[in-house]
A and B are shown apart, each in its own frame.
Chain A
Amino acid sequence: MRGPDVVWYLGVAGFLFCTGALGVLIRRSPLIVLLSLEIMLNGANLALIAFSRHYGRGDGQIFALAVMAVAASEVVVGLGLIVAIARRRLDLDVDKLSTLRG
Chain B
Amino acid sequence: MIVASFANVLVWAIWVLAAFACVGTGIAVISFSNPFYSALCLIGNLASLAVLYLLLSAEFVAAAQVLVYAGAVMVMFLFVIAYLGGRADAPWAGGPSWQAVGAIAASAALFVEIVVVIGLKTSGRLSDSAKLHSAYGSPAEIGRLFLTDNLLAFEITSIVLLVAAVGGVILGSHSREHPVEGVGQ
Size bracket, chain A contacts: 35 or more
> Contact mask B31-59 → A, CB, 8 Å, 1/0?
00001001100100110010011011110
A35, B39: Cβ atoms closer than 8 Å: yes
- Summed over the interface, the residue pairs from A and B with CB atoms below 8 Å come to a total of 247
Give the residues in chain B near A55, CB-CB below 8 Å. Answer: 129-130
A35, B171: Cβ atoms closer than 8 Å: no
Beyond the given A16-B22, A56-B131, please list 6 additional residue pairs across the A-B interface where CB-CB is below 8 A: A3-B12, A4-B11, A4-B12, A19-B107, A65-B61, A84-B171
B171, A73: Cβ atoms closer than 8 Å: no
Give the residues in chain B near A36, CB-CB below 8 Å. Answer: 29-30
B136, A18: Cβ atoms closer than 8 Å: no
A32, B38: Cβ atoms closer than 8 Å: yes
B73, A49: Cβ atoms closer than 8 Å: no
Size bracket, chain B contacts: 35 or more
Minimum Cβ distance to chain B for residue A2 (Å): 5
A73's closest neighbor in chain B, by CB?
A: B164
The DSSP consensus for interface residues of chain A is: helix
- Measured CB to CB, the residues of A under 8 A from B are 1-12, 14-23, 25-29, 31-32, 34-36, 38-39, 42, 45-46, 49-50, 52-59, 61-66, 68-77, 79-84, 86-88, 92-93, 95
B107, A72: Cβ atoms closer than 8 Å: no
Give the residues in chain B near A68, CB-CB below 8 Å. Answer: 64-65, 68-69
CA distance A36 to B14 in the complex (A): 25
A72, B52: Cβ atoms closer than 8 Å: no
> Contact mask B146-158 → A, CB, 8 Å, 1/0?
1001100100110
A93, B94: Cβ atoms closer than 8 Å: yes
